[in-house]
Structure 1
């Protein structure tokens, strides 16, 4: 019993809203360390087999969608864990654990499926090289892009339009300058996040209006910044 009480005390001592970020970062780092204990050929094979390319999506879609979200193949890619952790913490403190998981999943899965559809259409019409069907596509950036798009709802109303247009314009510029399916995936994930932000904002308005006068200022503003 004393051991259980100490464990509970430690859990309650964890800052609110950081558990998802800590867990996710630890999983990604664990996969990264395990991956880099293998030889280069084995590492490359694992990344290829974890990719959400067309070949893998046809064979084992659920497996690769899950695996691809925790695989960071290079050391430089670990830098993305910093904004990812910040995004997870901000969204979890705002909307809760379940909503954060759903939003991240929407971004990762939604962008993956849209990119796969575009690639399949391009291959069917002979507009793309057949090698794209096996091109590696792993990482956490689709989910992160969706979280960032969702967080636009927390920005003051006057700043929402520029806050939305700047990253979107940047991604579109990258796509136009060097057409690549991952750039398209990031645009799709960001737009999914914008859509979720609209839904959350509209859902919060009736709640704010239903609160008695004098009680909604703190809670209403805490739900969605205006």
Structure 2
């Protein structure tokens, strides 16, 4: 098979099955994560109503679970979604955001960014809930609120992906991301909206982990050498 000509997309002229295989191999973290979410979504979809409620609460990273099982609740909550019917939407979002970021910065840097954002956003947002409960602005039942899902990691990936795009596309994308996450934050924000803002900010702050930042540092060091 001839390689794609200059100016053509890297996937041009390739067998779609081979392209899909190589895409999955180059983004193992994204697709392992998707596989686990697919399994847990099937579990919720096939469970009775009582078991479903037990699972979504038991796997939540809410105040009660964080106090009782801090590490498991932080990790497990990132592998469940509350509505299994939304799984296909998450597949699209994972391919657009996580897969592109993982392929660009590498699996470990991607994992550090999205994993760190998931943990930080979860802890910070639940701390806000706790403060609101102590200030009598929220009922005490919010200590058991359902807080599962992968949206914090997606928000971090969305922030980091900004640096992957070239101008002028980068600026249009940045405006769209800020509007998407900013409107809920300024119009009756929930603890989840605050969590998204924190995760997005951490994605923006992960610029030093990108190949562009690494290359820039290497170039500066080379220029400083006699």
| TM-score category of the 2 structures, normalised to the smaller one | 0.7 to 0.9
Aligned to 2:98: 88
Structure 1's consecutive aligned runs of 4 or more residues displaced over 3 angstroms after TM superposition are: 13-16, 157-163, 198-204, 208-212
State the aligned residue count: 201
Measure, in 2, the Cα distance between the counterparts of 1:33 and 1:167: 30
Paired residue for 1:53?
62
Provide the residue aligned with 1:70 in structure 2. 79
Conservation of the 8 A alpha-carbon contact between 1:152 and 1:197: no
> Aligned residue for 1:216?
none
Q: 1:108 aligns with which of 97, 100, 118?
A: 118
The whole-number CA distance in structure 2 between the counterparts of 1:155 and 1:209 is 22
RMSD: 2.3
TM-score when normalising by structure 2: 0.79
Deviation at 1:17, TM superposition (A): 1.6
Question: Which region of structure 1 is more displaced relative to structure 2, 200-209 or 43-52?
Answer: 200-209
1:189-200 to 2 correspondences below 5 Å: 189-197=199-207, 200=210
Aligned residue in 1 for 2:217: 206
Match of 1:134 among 144, 148, 158: 144
For 1:132-211, what aligned pairs fall within 5 Å after superposition? Answer: 132-197=142-207, 200=210, 202-210=213-221
Give, in whole Å, the separation in 2 of the partners of 1:204 and 1:59: 44
Instruction: Quote the offset at 1:195 in angstroms.
Output: 0.8
In 2, Cα distance between the equivalents of 1:24 and 1:211?
39
Query: Partners in 1 of 2:78 and 2:220 — Cα distance?
Result: 39
| Contact 2:114–2:156 (Cα < 8 Å) also in 1 | yes
18-27 vs 193-202, which deviates more? 193-202
**TM superposition score normalised by structure 1:** 0.79
Helix, strand or coil: the match of 2:179? helix
**Secondary structure of 2:26 counterpart:** coil
Deviation at 1:180, TM superposition (A): 1.2
- Give the conservation status (yes or no) of the 8 Å contact 1:168–1:190: no
Shift of 1:172: 2.4
Listed one character per residue, the Cα deviations across residues 152-188 of structure 1 (whole Å, up to 9, x for unaligned) are: 1112255545533432233222133232111111111
Q: What runs of 5+ residues in structure 2 fail to find an aligned partner?
A: 1-17
